[in-house]
Amino acid sequence: MIPVQGVQNQTIAVLGLGRSGRATAAALTEGGADVVVWDDGADTRASAEAEGLTLRDLTRETAWEGVSALITSPGIPHLYPKPHPAIAMALRLGIPVDNDIGLFFRSFATRDWDSFDITPRVIAVTGSNGKSTTTALIHHILTEVGRPAQMGGNIGTGVLSLDPAQDGEVVVLELSSYQTDLARALTPDVAVFTNLSPDHLDRHHGMGGYFAAKRRLFAEGGPDRAVIGVDEIEGLYLADQLSEGPQDDRVIRVSSETKLDAFGWSVFAKKGFLSEYRKGRQVASIDLRAVTGLPGAHNHQNACAAYAACRAVGIPPREIEAAFHSFQGLPHRSQTVAEIGGVRWVNDSKATNVDSAEKALLAFKNIRWIAGGMGKEGGITSLVPHLGNVVKAYFIGHSARDFALEVGQSVDYEIFATIDEAVARAHAEAQSGETVLLAPAAASFDQFPNFEKRGEHFTALVQALKG
């Protein structure tokens, strides 16, 4: 746990008592604060009270007497579509509103650091797609090369549940737009922006607000190094805003589409090869084609971002390359779960929309594609131009017939009620050299509570095929 600094003898309110809210209350208490809490769920409130937490109905103005600050969980709206009533009350009363990320950045450094030989550092990763894989890959590389490291934030451990820093440690954080939008302190040593595509637009009142939330990670704290994916206009703009010119190597530009050889520092992937350039000269190259845990151009972008972040904290290229090869990928994200009779089985259950499914379909050849579930607005018509690698599609669940109508004659397909039936048929038909890919392009809620359970079920079915 990281005790929150600067709150001793203050009354601090915590709104939302999920994982991050409970951890925040504990860290504030450890820091000497008098903590009061509230949650909209009656069962959650009862559980919190049974654990000894002090409830106070923060939707009532009388509850705010003596309160110095409100710490809110990231899932609770603070601006759009409209603020939660408790947050609206705090805003009207002029009570500072923050979140656990803000508390982390103001509390992580301690006087103990004065005795360290190497100052701990924080790498923070944000973006629309790939941030979980990039975060996990950075942490994996650091661990493989022997650097003490922790991982948390929007992945794994909540930030205030991390351990206090060790000498020379690197903390790697995945930060969502919900988290960066509100945090009053954002001071990473290295900040990473992967890419931007439409997401959470109701929460941010459009793309401009969504990008602005991501941009705060770079604008508020001024990281020593900024790793910026420049394959979209927002990344190009952000890199330009942060640099004093093309040779400013405080900004490391990253691409999986474009050769970047005219900048002070850049990392890019072309035709499966990662290249690092410094001041117009190539200084390193890695063949990513044989890295099984990072298939496809989208993962090559993740590899470039992770490589750049690790280079920014002094990891040599050859050590990064070796760590790439031992990275198994994250569950449910282009995860190879087995090879049976020369057939590769890939679990990309996280591909719940057409953008993610498109990236998966472009990452492999000779695909037997399992897709379906609760289809989303717009269907999968936009995927039709990207089905050239698909040998056959196996559509499942609620939207199976809709998907079949949308692809028409562009690909051979068959319809199934369940994923079990699709896996069995794909196993019977797949030939050596092919890939059976679960990339649903749909939510899981017709048959599974979430994409993780869907992916776990697929993995179990595949493992059973091995006998």
Show binding-site residues for ATP.
127-133
- Please give the annotated binding residues, written as ranges: 127-133
Q: How far is residue 330's CA from residue 193's CA, in Å, rounded to a whole number? A: 19
Task: Tell me if residue 266 falls in helix, strand or coil.
Answer: strand
Cα–Cα distances (Å) from 387 to 147, 271, 296, 383, 428, in that order, read: 42, 20, 15, 7, 21
- Which residues touch 256 (CB under 8 Å, ≥6 apart)? 231, 268, 269, 297, 298, 300, 301, 304
First-to-final CA distance of the chain: 44
Exposed, middle or buried: residue 141 (CB in 10 Å: 0-12, 13-18, 19+)? buried
Q: Could you tell me the sign of the dihedral formed by the alpha carbons of 22, 27, 30, 36, in that order?
A: negative
Q: Could you tell me which residues are beta bridge partners of residue 396?
A: 372, 416
**Token reading at 244:** 């004093």
Separation CA 76–CA 204 (nearest Å): 12
Count CB neighbours of 165 within 10 A: 22
**Rounded-to-integer distance, Cα 2 and Cα 108, Å:** 7
Peptide bond into 81 cis (omega under 30): yes
Query: What interhelical angle do 296-312 and 354-363 show, nearest 10?
Result: 90
Q: Are 307 and 276 in contact (CB under 8 A)?
A: yes
Question: What is the distance between the alpha carbons of residues 85 and 95, in angstroms, rounded to a whole number?
Answer: 14
- CB-count exposure of residue 466 (10 Å: 0-12, 13-18, 19+): exposed
Beta bridge partners of 72: 15
